[in-house]
Amino acid sequence: MSQAAPAPWHKGWYAAARHVPSPNHGPRPTGTPIDLAVLHSISLPPGQYGGPEIEQLFTNQLDWQAHPYFQQIQGLEVSAHFLIRRDGELVQFVSADDRAWHAGRSSWRGRDNCNDYAVGIELEGLEHHPFEPAQYDTLASLLQAMADHYPDLRHVAGHEHVAPGRKEDPGRAFDWIGLRQQLAWPDAAFPDGITHPQ
């Protein structure tokens, strides 16, 4: 008798991701539905890919003296729920049931404090620079898996949309049209006025 396949989710942890638990999280407000995914971009040091620094930052283990840029963010305690590496690898830091520290001062369609009701997804990359096809494939798969597990999750936006004027990521090179085609979600699920990269 064959064993049943493991459940894709367990207490907010996604089985398809590599788990690197972060201490930087807290509870969501009681009764708050998870209904938004916020997309970010990150690279540490800026423009360098593949190293351990992002994971170190989200787990409070980054050596602030290892690079001059790190001194600008010294003491920062942040996290996201997920990171998608350039090769499409998916890393999870915080249970999606919990509140990660990713959006900061933010608002989406009239509701403040996006961290309370959003899942934060970091894409390894620079603002306004193209992302890799493997990242879009992983992102679309993750978003659909989250929508299947969290029935209220039906919207996705960039950090630039929830914190306009303060943040610019993932930036103008992000292919919103391609993501929309991969997901086949309705237009209302996406930010108003999104366009294909030039």
Handedness of CA 190, 106, 172, 94 (dihedral sign): negative
* Main-chain dihedrals φ then ψ at residue 64, nearest 5 degrees: -65, -20
Phi, psi angles (nearest 5°) of residue 73: -115, 15
Residue whose pair of structure tokens reads 């003296």 in the numeric block: 65
- DSSP 8-state assignment for residue 52: S
Which residues are part of the catalytic machinery?
Answer: 122
Distance CA 173, CA 190 (A): 16
Q: Percentages helix, strand, coil for the chain, rounded to the nearest 5?
A: 25, 20, 55
Tokens coding 77: 């305690």
Neighbours of 175 (CB within 10 A): 18
